[in-house]
């Protein structure tokens, strides 16, 4: 009866001049009478037991129970009355009129410490004055006086007139009302009032005033042959208004005496700039080679066509050049015509025939430039206009000619045909020193004579006559040096050529009856030697790279 009213009495609290009360019942603060009596130590309600438990003259604290969750909820309700967000002073515009927002001190109830203080008051059951709860206070950076001063010294002048916006030779005015829609004045980190502009609003309001801007697409630099020499066409960068930087320039401009703002430009460079082109070092002849072609206008047409396609090709440092990959299919639509080519060890007619002349010429230019021989396939038999052991055949889809640029510089290919010779020249920066040797011809074998095959006699396959060529073996070596020091081991290529038959576009006379003869014809042995024919009478190729072409492309 004595403790009950004390345990349920409201607990007054105060926090930064905010007063409230906490109801112990709803806050989970409870006096447990049963446990308090049990703590007295009596075993029954008989007079002797009561006298034994109470007669010793000792004090017994009541048993008080606290529900932490309920108490936290009660204090949260107090905090809702106490807590207040910090408000920094600022200025915004209502139309063209600057309006001040007064700074407000922030405060927050320390609920953890407050819970301890309320628990202590309840456990004392003594009542008394209001419990003072702790409050954390946060001060704004600015004062009302600073805000009032900024109204007249910053906010009003910022919208006192138009802003002159200049970009790419054009000047337009931004009206004061537009300025007011994008500007605010806020406290900086040091507490001073500063004019700021909203980036999204500036972009939306300012850029349309500039009108339709010319669209400039970035263009890569190019390196092409001009008057027989490499020339760089400079790259073109695109410039557009830099709206991200524009907003940051507006505050200073609206307070400047001339109220003028030059819109900054954002430059977008192409993937391949003029500087990139210059770094490739394409400036001098690195190597060149030429091979003769004594006949066959269709072959010359194909050679000129492929030379025109490859001319001006650029191979970057470390890049592998594939002739088939770069040129693509050799077809009539691209200007190629039927001409003799070697197929399965014999000559035939095919669209694009003769382009192995170009492949051989390019192979030698790469050979003497020190480029890596990724893949090349020589002809099955030697063609006398090509260097023995240093020639290449190509077809679609294979074989291909592939070589890798192993220099730190770019390579520009110059290729042309003057009607008598096929030329390939590499432009770049001289890097490798090349030494080469040739073993000469060994294990020479003579050609055999052959006549028209059944397919050639029937017209299924065109007949292409050949003068024949000896077969032989040859070994080519190459050593690369850099600044007088050999790099790597000596490279070696060994080639065995089979004899090219002397093919005659006539029926085999040994299989045709002679006039007046009777009975079956008497055949001769197939592949008999023809010593009366002297193979290899075509003009010889230029073996070493020259420095002066025989004709301009």
The strand ranges marked E within 168-299 are 170-174, 183-187, 193-197, 222-226, 229-233, 238-241, 260-262, 265-268, 284-292
Rounded to the nearest 5 degrees, what angle is found at the Cα of 172, between the Cα atoms of 166 and 173?
115
Q: How far apart are CA 71 and CA 26, in angstroms?
A: 8
Confidence at residue 232, expressed as pLDDT on a 0 to 100 scale: 96
Yes or no: say if 379 and 399 are a contact pair by the CB < 8 Å rule: no
The residue that leads in pLDDT, 226 or 551, is 226
Mean pLDDT estimate for the chain: 86
Report the C-alpha gap between 398 and 55 in whole angstroms.
Answer: 117
Beta bridge partners of 262: 166
Residue range 414-443, pLDDT digits in tens: 999 998 999 999 999 999 999 999 998 999
**pTM more than 0.85:** no
DSSP E strands in 156-308: the ranges are 163-167, 170-174, 183-187, 193-197, 222-226, 229-233, 238-241, 260-262, 265-268, 284-292
- Phi/psi region, residue 340 (left: phi>0; alpha: psi -120 to 50; beta: rest), is beta
What's the mean pLDDT in 87-100? 92
Q: pLDDT tens digits for 317-372? A: 999 999 999 999 988 998 999 887 665 555 566 777 789 999 999 999 999 999 99
Compute, in degrees rounded to 10, the torsion defined by CA atoms 477, 480, 486, 489.
-50
Contact of 207 with 187, CB cutoff 8 Å? no
Backbone angles phi, psi at 496, to 5 degrees: -115, 115
pLDDT in the model for residue 548: 33
Over the stretch 169-193, which tens digit does the pLDDT of each residue have?
Answer: 889 999 999 999 999 998 888 888 9
Chain segment 8-52, per-residue pLDDT in tens: 999 999 999 999 999 999 989 898 888 888 777 666 778 877 777
- pLDDT band for 55, please (50, 70, 90 cuts): low
How does residue 547 score in pLDDT terms, banded at 50, 70 and 90?
Answer: very low
Contact of 217 with 267, CB cutoff 8 Å: no
Give the mean pLDDT of 69-84: 94
């Amino acid at each position: 009866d004595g403790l009950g009213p004390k345990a349920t009495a409201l607990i007054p609290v105060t926090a930064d001049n905010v007063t409230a009360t906490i109801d112990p019942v709803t806050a989970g603060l409870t006096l447990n009478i049963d446990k308090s009596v049990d703590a007295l130590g009596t075993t029954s309600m008989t007079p002797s037991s009561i006298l034994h438990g109470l007669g010793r003259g000792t004090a017994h604290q009541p048993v008080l129970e606290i529900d932490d969750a309920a108490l936290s909820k009660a204090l949260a309700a107090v905090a809702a009355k106490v807590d207040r967000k910090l408000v920094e002073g600022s200025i915004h515009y209502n139309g063209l009129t600057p309006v001040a927002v007064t700074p407000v001190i922030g405060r927050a109830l320390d609920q953890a410490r407050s819970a301890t203080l309320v628990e202590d008051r309840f456990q004392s059951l003594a009542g008394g004055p209001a419990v003072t709860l702790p409050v954390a206070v946060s001060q704004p950076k600015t004062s009302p006086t600073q805000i009032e001063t900024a109204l007249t010294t910053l906010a009003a002048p910022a919208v006192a007139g138009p802003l002159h916006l200049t970009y790419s030779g054009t000047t337009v005015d931004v009206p004061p009302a537009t300025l007011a829609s994008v500007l605010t004045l806020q406290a900086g980190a040091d507490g001073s009032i500063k004019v700021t502009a909203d980036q999204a609003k500036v972009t939306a309001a300012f850029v349309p005033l500039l009108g339709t801007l010319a669209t400039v697409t970035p263009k890569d630099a190019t390196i092409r042959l001009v008057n027989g020499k490499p020339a760089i066409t400079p790259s073109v960068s695109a410039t557009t208004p830099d709206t991200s930087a524009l907003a940051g320039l507006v505050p200073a401009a609206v307070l400047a005496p001339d109220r003028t703002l030059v819109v900054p430009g954002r430059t977008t460079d192409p993937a391949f700039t003029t500087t990139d082109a210059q770094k490739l070092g394409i400036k001098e002849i690195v190597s060149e080679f030429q091979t003769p072609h004594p006949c066959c206008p269709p072959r010359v047409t194909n050679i000129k066509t492929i030379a025109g396609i490859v001319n001006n090709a650029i191979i970057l440092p470390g890049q592998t050049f594939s002739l088939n990959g770069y040129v693509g299919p050799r077809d009539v639509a691209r200007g190629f015509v039927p001409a003799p080519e070697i197929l399965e060890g014999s000559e035939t007619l095919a669209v694009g025939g003769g382009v192995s002349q170009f492949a051989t010429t390019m192979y030698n230019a790469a050979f003497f430039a020190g480029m890596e021989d990724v893949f090349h396939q020589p002809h099955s038999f030697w063609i006398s206009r090509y260097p023995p052991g240093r020639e290449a055949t190509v077809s679609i889809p294979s074989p291909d000619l592939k070589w890798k640029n192993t220099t730190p510089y770019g390579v520009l290919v110059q290729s042309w045909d003057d009607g008598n010779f096929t030329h390939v020249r590499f432009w770049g920066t001289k890097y490798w020193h090349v030494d080469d040797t040739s073993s000469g011809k060994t294990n020479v074998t003579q050609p055999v004579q052959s006549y028209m095959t059944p397919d050639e006699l029937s017209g299924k396959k065109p007949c292409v006559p050949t003068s024949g060529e000896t077969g032989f073996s040859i070994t080519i070596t190459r050593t690369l040096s850099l600044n007088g020091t050999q790099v790597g081991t000596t490279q070696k290529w060994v080639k065995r050529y089979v004899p090219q038959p002397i093919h005659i576009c006539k029926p085999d006379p040994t299989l045709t009856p002679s006039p007046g003869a009777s009975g079956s014809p008497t055949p001769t042995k197939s592949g008999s030697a023809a010593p009366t024919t002297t193979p290899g009478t075509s003009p010889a190729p230029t073996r070493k790279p020259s420095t002066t072409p025989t004709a301009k492309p």
